[in-house]
A and B are shown apart, each in its own frame.
Chain A
Amino acid sequence: MLQLFKFKGGVKPETHKAPSLQAPIAKAPLPEQLIVPLHQSIGGVPQPLVEVGQHVLKGQRIGAADQWVSAAVHAPTSGTVIAVEPRLAAHPSGLTTASVVIAPDGREEWIDRQPVDYHTLAPERLREHLRDAGVVGLGGAVFPSHAKLSAAKSVPMEELVINGAECEPFMTCDDLLMRERAEEIVRGITVFRDLLEPRKVLIGIEDNKPEALQSMREAVARLGVDFTVTAVPTRYPAGGAKQLIRVLTGKEVPASRRSPEMGVQCFNVATAYTAWRALAFGEPVISRIVTLTGNVETPRNWETLLGTPLGEFIRLGAPKPDTDRYLMGGPMMGFEMPGLEAPLVKASNCIIAGSPALFPPPAPEMPCIRCGACAEACPHELQPFELYWFSRARNFGKTQEYNLFDCIECGCCSYVCPSHIPLVQYFRFAKSEIWARERDKNQADAAKSRFEFRNERDEREKAEKAERLARAAAAKATEKPAAEKPAATVPAEETPPANAPVDADAAKKAAIAAAMERARLQREAAQVKNTDNLSTEQREEIARIDARRARAPAHQAVEQTDVAPPPAQEQ
């Protein structure tokens, strides 16, 4: 028997899981339209690979990962691309995000699926394969999985933790997946194990899911692998990656470190499942299991195509008339979907129909009385009331002193707060303000260095010009005697007193030099300035602008050059 550890804090809200566990997973029907956001994972925004009007096949890559931490997206079904444009995102902000809209043709025509034997692939190829199949963490964090599949160089990988805890109330998608498809999950875990080579593989499942535990144990036994399937005590947020790692291994991963540095890595069961599907069947991630529950007539888990609009999805569960909102994710950490047009994405593990009866409106926020209930509930042992005090006063420096960034936003503190303070909201606010400040600061630093560079260049140019003027003057002076001799008889003003000629000459020379300078600049100016030190994106932007300008009516520019003042006039 594995020795289990405890994490401090946590809460035990009512689980509400039973309703959606009554029926097995069902396949959701094909929606009328699929809206596939290109950016569905942490990391870089994939570039679109398709154009409007193009016909795509089911599983065809429509967005390519643009850097290492990024994952591809695929067409969930065959059909025609009818738009590539910003659409409402499944995000609390209500903002839009670049999406590919596909009108399905109903034929569900697959691309040529190529199963691969992962043993024959080099680890690097295997990771690329997973990236291009769009495998990301399906627990909700959607971090590209391939980027987590390398052990730290200096620390041997000791434990691979597989997260089947599913601690959020209402949510049952992992539970049913483990009950029904345990074998494929275990096979997926084998892939992860072979890549990471840990000493132990620990599968943690909350003890309120006996069927899932049973099914996973059987699958492990059937496949003859030495994975340990362990029941962990049911307590929110036992399914948080850091909490589960703590419970199973006793290791605590702080915000400042990555888990491989401590010899441990954690994946969700659904991630292992999709990884296996991607390798053994050549199927990229185009669907996921989504729990539809809450205030609906028929709560159930649906295998749903990514990109299905929320409005079409909820019809499957027949929401009751008093439903006033839809939450994506669990009731502890989820958010309210901004509209029925927003699509389901890789992170959509659960949709909860809410009603005023189910989720009563929040009680008015009272002042904090520092009772410390939040500190007791915080699984990261923070002092939420101190964080709140300083977040509220916008004293962000202090919030960081109190380890704001170790907060995992699990919501335990808000849940227990007798003053009904939306603590997590304050922390998110403080975090995004700090991030914004960081961005501003970086921009300011860049601007400063560019400004200084420009000043330096100005100085240099000025110095160079002065030097040129001086040289020109010297050259003139040597020429002068020859030029002056024939003019010796002209009136006196041509030969002014001793030191005056220098001034007059200098002025004349300067005028000439300036004219030459103008001419030189005119010549030079045909060359584009300021193009060194540009990043790739900036070059791309310039390229795009050039292309646009090429299309712009050429005569306009020509006409208007007449009005132009002399170029490069300095002083």
Chain B
Amino acid sequence: MLTAILIMALGAVVLGAALGFASIKFKTEGNPLVEKIEAILPQTQCGQCGFAGCKPYAEAIAAGEADINRCPPGGQEGVAKLADLLGREITPLDAEEKPKQLAIIDEHTCIGCTLCIQACPVDAIVGAAKQMHTVVSALCTGCELCVKPCPVECIRMEVIGESLETWKWRYPIFEIKRAS
């Protein structure tokens, strides 16, 4: 009995020492995964995931604190990509998927309060106090963060239409049933 205890204790000590040594020798810092996750997120910085921007959300995902299905601009496809990266199951998006949008300021109503300028996370609104503002459409991510702060409700979101440059070939769908 005693030998048994002794031997087990000896084993524990040896293995413990080895592990302790390894934990010092192979210490890791930082998490390169966050960057990979962030690269998948659409960078709208809209906060719809409940985090203050894409990076905090990426950090939360990497730490296992947040689900991967909370990014509406990324859509179901973003969820699939994240699931693929992280080896998790694909879950349905935790919100409604919206087409890509663009903020438009009605320049006749705008009073030049600059509130939307402060709200815009990507500096896509230009203008000055008491002067009308406008959205630089190429920079707008469609995050809707400027809509709420406007005191006169002059900002609306418009769905971006297709042009010849952005037109995409459709997925070939053939009605097999009808054909047969």
Contact = CB atoms under 8 A, between A and B. Distances in A.
Within 8 Å by CB, do A and B touch in the complex?
yes
Interface of A: 39, 89, 91, 93, 95, 97, 362-365, 422, 425-426, 428-429, 431-433, 435-436, 439-440, 443-448, 450-451, 453-454, 521-522, 525-531, 534-535, 537-538, 541-542, 545, 548-549, 552-553, 556-557, 560-561, 563-565, 567-568, 570
A553 B179 CA distance: 60
Interface string B14-46: 000000000000000000000000100111110
A565 B114 CA distance: 10
Interface of B: 38, 41-45, 53-54, 107-109, 111-115, 117-118, 121-132, 134, 136-139, 141, 151-152, 162-164, 166-172, 174, 176, 179-180
Contact of B130 (A431, A443, A561): A561
A443 B43 CA distance: 8
Interface centre among B121, B128, B166, by most chain A C-beta atoms within 10 angstroms, is B128
Given A95-B162, A429-B168, A431-B169, A447 B111 contact: no
B126 A542 contact: yes
Nearest to B136: A538
Contact of A526 (B125, B129, B174): B129
Given A93-B162, A429-B172, A564-B111, A557 B132 contact: yes
A451 B168 contact: no
Given A445-B43, A454-B123, A526-B129, 19 more contacts: A365-B174, A426-B171, A428-B169, A432-B169, A435-B168, A446-B139, A451-B43, A522-B129, A525-B130, A530-B125, A530-B126, A538-B139, A548-B107, A552-B107, A560-B111, A561-B130, A563-B152, A567-B113, A568-B118
Contacts of A567: 113-114, 129-130
Contacts of A530: 117, 123, 125-126
Nearest to A528: B128
B114 A568 contact: yes
Contacts of B108: 552-553, 556
Given A365-B174, A541-B137, A529 B128 contact: yes
A92 to B, nearest CB: 8
B136 A564 contact: no
Contacts of A556: 108
Interface centre among A422, A446, A529, by most chain B C-beta atoms within 10 angstroms, is A529
Contacts of A39: 164
Contact of B122 (A362, A447, A521, A565): A447
B53 to A, nearest CB: 7
Contacts of B112: 557, 561, 564
Given A39-B164, A564-B111, A565-B151, A534 B141 contact: no
Contact of B42 (A444, A548, A560): A444
Nearest to B180: A364
Nearest to A436: B168
A560 B43 contact: no
Nearest to B143: A447
Contact of B111 (A528, A557, A568): A557
Interface centre among A364, A426, A530, A563, by most chain B C-beta atoms within 10 angstroms, is A530
11 contacts: A39-B164, A364-B179, A436-B166, A436-B168, A526-B129, A542-B136, A549-B132, A552-B108, A556-B108, A564-B130, A565-B115
A444 B41 CA distance: 8
Given A447-B122, A565-B151, A91 B137 contact: no
A545 B134 contact: yes
A446 B125 CA distance: 15
Nearest to A546: B134
Contact of A425 (B134, B152, B169, B180): B169
A568 B125 CA distance: 14
B92 to A, nearest CB: 17
Contacts of B176: 364-365
A530 to B, nearest CB: 5
A555 B152 CA distance: 17
A439 B125 contact: no
A291 to B, nearest CB: 25
A563 B128 contact: no
Question: Top 6 closest A-B pairs, CB basis?
Answer: A525-B129, A364-B179, A444-B43, A428-B169, A567-B129, A432-B168
